[in-house]
Amino acid sequence: GSTGIEPHLPHQVEYISGKVFFTTSSDLNMLKKLKSAERLFLLIKKQSPFTVSSPRKGKILNEIQKLINDDPGSWLDTISIWKNLLELDTKKETLSQRASNPLKRKMGENEIIAKKLKVEEMQKIETTHKECQLEKQIEENVLEQRDSVTGQETLQEEECQNDVGKAVDAHNQDVLTFRVSCRCSGTIGKAFTAQEIGRVIGIALMKQFGWKTDLRTPNLEIFVHLNDIYFVVGIPVFRIPLASRTYIKTAGLRSTIAWAMASLAEIKPGAFVLDPMCGLGTILLEAAKEWPSAYYMGADVSDSQLLGACDNLKAAGLKDKIELLKVSVIELPLPSDSVDIIISDIPFGKKFKLGKDIKSILQEMERVLHVGGTIVLLLNEDHHRLLKDCREGNSPLNSKGSHTHEPEIKKCLNPEENTGTSEMVPSSHETSNNACLNKMSPFGSLVPVEYYKVSLGKTEAFICKYKKSHSSGL
């Protein structure tokens, strides 16, 4: 039933970079409440990565095919679970849609439509002839040489035609349609393209199960992720990613990141929570939805951002829960020591001056935050490096400085690959490094507690948490 980044999480689940693996008996309604996960998958296969070397490229493709051919039962078992889950979910969705709006398109109980995802698309296998010729080409040009004759190759091609032909003839029957979405990186990504891997898996699935490819609206989407850390195959549990919040009209910061930041802030009932650079208000929306008993205020200097935030609050039904102000983050109209929690996404980009602006921003945040209060910030790598250098005495706050040392304590969260993960150093390092962290204070009274490295797609950032230890005197 965990929905966030609890300290005991590493002991409850298996986690690797970008992936969290767990077993649960929870129903779909409970699983939908996972707020820090981008997507939820049913696991079909998980194993160590393939070792790539030029002479063995063909063998690797052969091994990938064997994952299907040698163990079809695990695929069918997972598909059966997936169908049962989706049929139950579809029934509930149909009843809900009929009750709320009879004009909406009705969903059949057995209709399962996978959401189109922004992933690298495998090349379309349009006809039976192309499918079999493609398989033959892979076998001849890529796979290792095997004892075979022309008659055997012809037989393989005829068998492929028969299998796919059965799938085409069964168009009006209950035939599963699918597509393969493959993501390759690391060493194997240099040896093979995602399309090559996707084709091999797609052809193997058609031959083994008689499924039919459909790249536009498949019943089933097979996700394959390969890199130097793992080889994982899974099926999305829900049509829509968990990160797609129904209550957010216009997306700003990723909802999963916003929720993670709010969860780290430890919001209590009656707390005064401020986002002084709220943008479209995503952080405030996530916080107010999850912890409704606090008082929320958002500020920004941009009219367009505030208008967007206002629209989001209306759409989420939170207009009365969150107050919006047009004001600069360095001139907050609030008394000193009056705010319990500050959560904010520090703007990224070249136009934002690292030294002077970050200093003024943190000084004003420190001023309005009361002793014992919490600040949770999302910082890009430059901001994070700058503050760490300042805390370590390597450079003044108003210069970029240089960064040559990373603290050993580092908690990392990566929501890009469908779920969050946390990486921690062994406990033997904690005592000495906690003492070091306590000395790293950007402005005297703000003491760093922890930080998480997060992926924002093509860029990386850090969620950093601070506590105010004493009066700033500002």
194-204 pLDDT, tens digit each: 999 999 999 99
Identity (one letter) of the amino acid at 222? Answer: I
Q: Phi/psi class of residue 254: alpha, beta or left (left: φ > 0; alpha: ψ in -120 to 50)?
A: beta
* Span 140-166, pLDDT tens digits: 333 333 333 334 333 444 444 443 343
Enclosing H/E stretch for 121? none
pLDDT of residue 43: 93
Q: Is the Cα dihedral 214, 217, 221, 225 positive or negative?
A: positive
CA distances from 204 to 70, 236, 284, 447 (A): 11, 20, 47, 56
Distances (CA, A) of 364 to 372, 394, 400, 440, 464: 16, 23, 21, 19, 17
DSSP helix/strand/coil, 177: strand
Instruction: Give me the pLDDT at residue 19, please.
Output: 85
User: Which parts of the chain sit beneath pLDDT 70?
Assistant: 1-12, 53-55, 88-174, 349-356, 389-444, 471-474
Q: Which residue has the tokens 């009006």?
A: 172
Q: Please give the pLDDT value at position 241.
A: 86
End-to-end Cα separation, the chain, in angstroms: 43
Q: Is 351 helix (H, G, I), strand (E, B) or coil?
A: coil
Domain ranges of the chain: 41-236, 255-468
What is the per-residue pLDDT for 472?
A: 59
Q: Using the structure block, give the residue that is written with the tokens 């890199």.
A: 227
Give domain 255-468's CATH architecture.
3-Layer(aba) Sandwich (3.40)
Query: What string of DSSP letters covers 178-212?
Result: EEEEEEE-HHHHHHS-HHHHHHHHHHHHHHHH--E
Residue 279, H or E segment: none
CATH no. for 41-236: 3.30.2300.10
Report CA dihedral (30, 31, 37, 43) to the nearest 10 degrees.
Answer: 160
**Exposure on the CB side of residue 316, measured as CA atoms within 13 A:** 30
Joined together, the tokens standing for residue 339 give 């705010």
- Length of the chain equals 474
The residues that bridge with 126 in the sheet, in sequence order, are none
151 sits in which H/E element: helix 150-169
